């Protein structure tokens, strides 16, 4: 594999008609291939670079708080945690939305919180989540780092304003411990804070953390001298929470205002439909990196249904339960049930679609920027009943459909049946033709569905079309958000 630096060098040499010494076109790749490889990573990189350049040019007062080592070249799978001066917040939001639009992006999720709004942006080939601390950094409903404190510790890193390494380490440890009561899931926070606190004296520590008493500063100083222990972490949590007694004004209102999320849920359920060979798995895997960038740590996958209830075969002891099923081997091998058996099957799995959604999926997407991707979903009964071992009239499927929670967006993958059959000849060509036609009819009749022809375009182009359609439809929910 060639590194991104190699590719950029080779691309420059191709552009200037200079061939790399000792490497032929056949040994490397065509000029167009070089360009294609570069483009895959360039849009995201360009957006991040231009985003920070814009903030600097517009003199926005900001600082990235953590995980900034690779910025602006890469997010390295992280989100952006940044503080913005209160007076600049409205301008920051407007400029960010304008820059996202310039790169074909949309605001696809927004979570309101008085001092910690979360915005998720996504385009056809990029995505980013930005957690914005407006004016101050809180812990729960308590003030922690004020803008005045943050301003003391701002330095420059690769042209970006960031909080200095040692204060980044201290802030990260305290936020983790004072919010959760431990730092077990992020041991590196303690190790980094240990090194940082070991380097500074109590006076500098107190100057940087004026919200805490002298006794608490002495306690923190122990972090720089001792290995992590439950006793020390517990004391930092308990005594720190006691000292953070000044509540942010409007905290009670904040709790009530969280109900706003129910009107504009920050999360989504997405269904991807298509016959075998239409490219569902390939499209999902290609979309996943961009979705993860936009919805940091919020991606979930389910095959066919929520899987709150076990398969009937598992329920009656015919086979063992398998977690995280993504494909079904030889789905048409078994014979479908009769009318009564099919009705029982559908009625049973209907409970999973209904209660699985309301008890497992909805609580997540109602208050978190989480995305559940459903491979096939209930609508597969319209397209391929043989797979589910049912054989029922279409009017029965439509009747039960009334009770099934609808996905927020439905991506229908299809195209030329002959080409689809060539990719995956697991069923007959006639079956593929019938299923593709049924899916196309379904797509045209469902207002939340859109079509992607995966036989006319290659995987990369089909993925971009899917992501573009997804971002546009998600963006409609938040198009009237005008400020943080």
pLDDT at residue 20 tops 50: no
Q: Does 347 share its domain with 385?
A: yes
Q: Does 208 share its domain with 65?
A: yes
Q: Does 251 share its domain with 351?
A: no
Range of the domain at 182: 58-257
- Of 230, 257, 284, which residue sits at a domain end? 257
Q: Does 344 share its domain with 439?
A: yes
Query: Does the residue 296 lie in any domain?
Result: yes
Tokens of 307: 């899987």
Identity of the highest mean pLDDT range in 206-210, 227-231, 411-415: 411-415
Number of domains in the chain: 2
Residues 423-432 have pLDDT tens digits of 988 888 999 9
Query: Does the residue 27 lie in any domain?
Result: no
Q: Does 279 share its domain with 144?
A: no
Share of the chain above pLDDT 90, in %: 62
C-alpha distances (whole Å) from 103 to each of 35, 70, 90, 122, 323 are 19, 21, 20, 9, 38
Q: Does 196 share its domain with 278?
A: no
Strand-pair partners of 107: 121
Query: Does the residue 441 lie in any domain?
Result: yes
Query: Does the residue 304 lie in any domain?
Result: yes
Q: Does 331 share its domain with 352?
A: yes
Q: Does 285 share its domain with 226?
A: no
Q: For residue 380, which of 400, 365, 360, 361 has the smallest C-alpha distance?
A: 400
Lowest mean pLDDT among 55-69, 107-121, 381-395, 443-457: 381-395
Residues 232-275 have pLDDT tens digits of 999 999 999 888 875 444 445 455 556 666 678 999 999 999 99
Q: Does 274 share its domain with 253?
A: no
Query: Does the residue 81 lie in any domain?
Result: yes
pLDDT computed for residue 257 by the predictor: 56
Q: Does 294 share its domain with 346?
A: yes
CA distance 347 to 340: 10
- Of 236, 257, 278, which residue sits at a domain end? 257
Query: Does the residue 465 lie in any domain?
Result: no
CA distance 135 to 92: 12
Return the SS3 of 415.
Answer: coil
HSE-up of residue 81 (Cα within 13 Å, Cβ side) = 17
pTM of the model: 0.84
Q: pLDDT grade, residue 28 (50/70/90)? A: very low
pLDDT computed for residue 145 by the predictor: 86
CA distance 50 to 44: 10
Lowest mean pLDDT among 103-117, 152-166, 255-269, 458-472: 255-269
Query: Does the residue 171 lie in any domain?
Result: yes
Q: For residue 292, which of 37, 66, 75 has the smallest C-alpha distance?
A: 75
The answer to whether 484 and 313 are in contact (CB under 8 A) is: no
C-alpha distances (whole Å) from 256 to each of 112, 133, 250, 253, 262 are 12, 20, 10, 5, 12
pLDDT computed for residue 359 by the predictor: 96
Query: Does the residue 19 lie in any domain?
Result: no
Q: Does 297 share its domain with 150?
A: no
CATH code for the domain of 433: 3.40.50.300
Q: Could you give the angle at the alpha carbon of 40 between the alpha carbons of 93 and 476, nearest 5°?
A: 40
Q: Does 394 share its domain with 446?
A: yes
């Amino acid at each position: 594999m060639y590194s991104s630096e190699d590719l950029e060098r080779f691309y420059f040499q191709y552009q200037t008609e200079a061939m790399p010494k000792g490497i032929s076109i056949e040994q490397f790749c065509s000029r167009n291939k070089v360009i294609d490889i570069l483009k895959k990573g360039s849009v995201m990189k360009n957006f991040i670079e231009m985003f920070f350049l814009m903030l600097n040019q517009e003199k926005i007062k900001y600082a990235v708080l953590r995980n900034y080592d690779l910025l602006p070249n890469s997010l390295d799978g992280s989100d952006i945690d940044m503080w913005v001066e209160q007076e600049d917040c409205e301008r920051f939001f407007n400029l960010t939305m304008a820059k996202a639009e310039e790169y074909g992006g949309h605001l696809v999720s927004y979570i309101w919180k008085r001092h910690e709004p979360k915005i998720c942006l996504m385009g056809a080939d990029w995505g980013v989540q930005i957690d914005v601390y407006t004016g101050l950094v809180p812990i729960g409903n308590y003030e922690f780092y004020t803008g005045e404190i943050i301003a003391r510790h701002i330095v420059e890193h690769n042209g970006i304003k960031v909080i200095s390494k040692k204060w980044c380490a201290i802030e990260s440890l305290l936020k983790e411990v004072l919010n959760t009561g431990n730092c077990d899931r992020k041991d590196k926070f303690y190790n980094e804070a240990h090194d940082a606190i070991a380097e500074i004296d109590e006076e500098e520590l107190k100057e940087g953390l004026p919200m805490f008493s002298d006794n608490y500063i002495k306690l923190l100083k122990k972090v720089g001298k001792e290995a992590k222990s439950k006793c020390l972490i517990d004391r930092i949590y308990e005594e720190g929470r006691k000292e953070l007694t000044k509540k942010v004004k409007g905290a009670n209102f904040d709790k009530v205002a969280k109900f706003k999320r129910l009107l504009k849920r920050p999360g989504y359920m997405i269904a991807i439909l298509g016959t075998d060979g239409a490219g569902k798995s390939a499209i999902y895997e290609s979309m996943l990196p961009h979705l993860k960038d936009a919805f940091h740590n919020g991606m979930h996958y389910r095959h066919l249904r929520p899987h709150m209830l076990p398969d009937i075969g598992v329920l009656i002891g015919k086979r063992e339960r398998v977690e995280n099923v993504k494909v079904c081997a030889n789905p048409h091998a078994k014979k479908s049930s009769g009318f009564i058996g099919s009705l029982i099957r559908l009625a049973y799995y209907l409970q999973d679609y209904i209660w699985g959604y309301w008890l497992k999926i909805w609580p997540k997407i109602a208050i978190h920027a989480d995305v559940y991707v459903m491979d096939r979903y209930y609508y597969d009964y319209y397209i391929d009943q043989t797979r589910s071992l049912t054989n029922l009239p279409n009017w029965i499927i439509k009747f039960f459909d009334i009770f099934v929670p609808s996905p927020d967006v439905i991506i229908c993958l299809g195209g030329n049946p002959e080409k689809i059959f060539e990719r995956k000849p697991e069923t007959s060509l006639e079956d593929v033709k019938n299923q593709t036609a049924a899916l196309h009819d379904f797509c045209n009749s469902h207002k939340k569905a859109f079509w992607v022809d995966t036989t006319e375009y290659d995987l990369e182009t089909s993925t971009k079309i899917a992501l573009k359609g997804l971002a546009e439809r998600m963006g409609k929910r938040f198009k009237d958000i005008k400020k943080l």
